[in-house]
Amino acid sequence: MSARRKARKRALDVLFEADQRGTGALELLAARIAEPGTEAPLPQYSVDIVEGVLGQQERIDEVLSTYAHGWTLDRMPAVDRAALRIGTWEILFNDDVPDAVAVDEAVELTRALSTDDSPGYVNGLLGRVVDLKPTLST
């Protein structure tokens, strides 16, 4: 598993845990940085993802809510929601990651961690975000 893939997984873990506990992701992130427990320290890219998603969460959630046909964010599985937020952040706000890689990585996260239907849904929704990126980035 590549270093970036591991970093994405760890970022998803933080976002998912904060969502499930109903706590602030920044506080949880700070706790994981200060005391990683039995895991290795968080990679810097994990920190960048969590901070980036939280910094742009209102816009990310607006985009996802607009194009998630038939689903509200609250109705989505929490893992899917976290993976979609990470993928959308990488597509719209991180020029270091090619769009296709951002989509593929989000799909792989959901394939490993979520329902059988999740990878196809995540692929379709993030594909739509990629298609609309020129209009969404303005």
What tokens appear for 103 in the block?
Answer: 């989509």
Specify the number of domains making up the chain.
Answer: 1
pTM for the model stands at 0.94
Cα(99)–Cα(86) distance, integer angstroms: 12
Per-position pLDDT tens, the chain of length 138: 688 999 999 999 999 999 999 889 999 888 888 877 767 788 999 999 999 999 999 999 999 999 998 888 999 999 999 999 999 999 999 999 999 999 999 999 999 999 999 999 999 999 999 999 988 865
> In terms of residue numbers, what domain contains 81?
3-136
| 57 DSSP assignment | H
CATH of the domain at 23: 1.10.940.10
